[in-house]
């Protein structure tokens, strides 16, 4: 077996100076692939392990460079803007490499552990001074076990704080393998109603709850988070069910947080050519008053 630093994984973004993915200032590594299919997904380009091509027609300047490099005749110009035929497109990425205004963007590249660590250590001083570090996110980082493990070990060997943001849907041996190298798990709970979990994500939640219980019993730092999706999991009963789980896991009040629905991911469905799914996504964010009321339940 290769050494950990030789493992290759699929990454769709590396975001520096992040302040929302754990304590301090962080670098967040977004990894491709997810076993869930949440209908409200904020990063739909992360769901597939294959590269994803995003097309933003508004940024197109009609230069035609993408037409010149497309070998599949998937791109045409209409009214000075490039359009794409998703049936013909293979997401090879040639148009993205040719486009210098990012009207086409390819999300998903193979990177070795060494390549990612080289980007991470540029900000090592910032991590140490701010109490920050590195966060593995996605997609679902546990889906790429060996690559995630290699990154976490490399970070710990450099005294860099590590966070894994996860939905918890993985076989328990995967969780057990990476847990010694994780300082904090940001654990995303969708809903504790199993039937609703299946309808909203495509999978049941038994693995998720089981892994959360194992992590808590084993003394790992874990924070439960629940993004409140209007009409799906934003009732008083849903929040009380989260509180009940936290009580069973002997977590502290500060280990729980609710997140208001963020619609910023919706535009990505159009850019991925998945408008049909977007049309089915009719969500309006909660009012501040209602969100604050639900948050007050945690404080009580």
pLDDT single digits (tens) 253-299: 899 999 998 888 888 988 999 877 766 667 888 899 999 999 999 88
In this chain, the answer to whether the domains covering 4-49+109-299 and 52-107 adopt an identical fold is no
Domain 52-107 is of which CATH architecture? 2-Layer Sandwich (3.30)
pLDDT in tens, 9-66: 999 999 999 999 999 999 999 999 999 999 899 999 999 999 999 999 999 999 999 9
For the segment 87-110, what is each residue's pLDDT rounded down to a tens digit? 999 999 999 999 999 999 999 999
Long-range contacts of 126-130 (CB under 8 A, 24+ apart): 126/17, 126/25, 127/24, 127/25, 127/26, 127/27, 127/160, 127/161, 128/159, 130/24, 130/25
pLDDT of 1 reads 38
Looking at domain 4-49+109-299, what is its CATH homologous superfamily? Aldolase class I (3.20.20.70)
Task: Quote the CA–CA distance of 194 and 204 in Å, as a whole number.
Answer: 6
Query: pLDDT at position 68, please?
Result: 93
Domain coordinates of the chain in residue numbers? 4-49+109-299, 52-107
153-196 per-position pLDDT tens digit: 999 999 999 999 999 999 999 999 999 999 999 999 999 999 99
């Amino acid at each position: 077996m290769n050494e950990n630093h030789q493992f290759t994984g699929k990454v769709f973004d590396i975001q520096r100076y992040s302040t929302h993915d754990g304590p301090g200032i962080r670098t967040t590594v977004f990894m491709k692939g997810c076993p869930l299919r949440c209908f409200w997904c904020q990063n739909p380009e992360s769901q597939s392990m294959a590269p994803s091509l995003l097309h933003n027609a508004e940024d197109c300047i009609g230069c035609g460079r993408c037409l010149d490099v497309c070998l599949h005749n998937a791109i045409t110009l209409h009214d000075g803007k490039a359009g794409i035929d998703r049936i013909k497109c293979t997401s090879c990425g040639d148009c993205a490499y040719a486009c210098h205004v990012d009207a086409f963007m390819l999300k998903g590249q193979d990177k070795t552990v060494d390549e990612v660590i080289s980007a991470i250590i540029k900000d090592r001083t910032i991590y140490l001074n701010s109490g920050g570090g590195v966060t593995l996110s996605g997609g679902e980082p546990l889906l790429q076990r060996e690559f995630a493990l290699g990154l976490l070990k490399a970070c710990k060997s450099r005294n860099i704080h590590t966070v894994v943001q996860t939905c918890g849907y993985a076989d328990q041996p995967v969780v057990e393998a990476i847990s010694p190298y994780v300082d904090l798990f940001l654990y995303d709970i969708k809903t504790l109603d199993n039937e609703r979990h299946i309808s909203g994500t495509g999978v049941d939640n038994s693995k998720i709850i089981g892994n959360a219980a194992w992590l808590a019993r084993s003394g790992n730092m874990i924070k439960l988070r629940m993004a409140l999706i209007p009409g799906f999991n934003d009732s008083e009963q849903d929040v009380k069910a989260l509180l009940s789980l936290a009580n069973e896991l002997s977590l502290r009040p500060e280990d729980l947080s609710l997140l208001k629905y963020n619609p910023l991911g919706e535009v990505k469905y159009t850019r991925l050519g998945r408008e049909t799914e977007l049309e089915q996504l009719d969500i309006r964010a909660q009012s501040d008053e209602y969100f604050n009321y639900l948050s007050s339940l945690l404080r009580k």
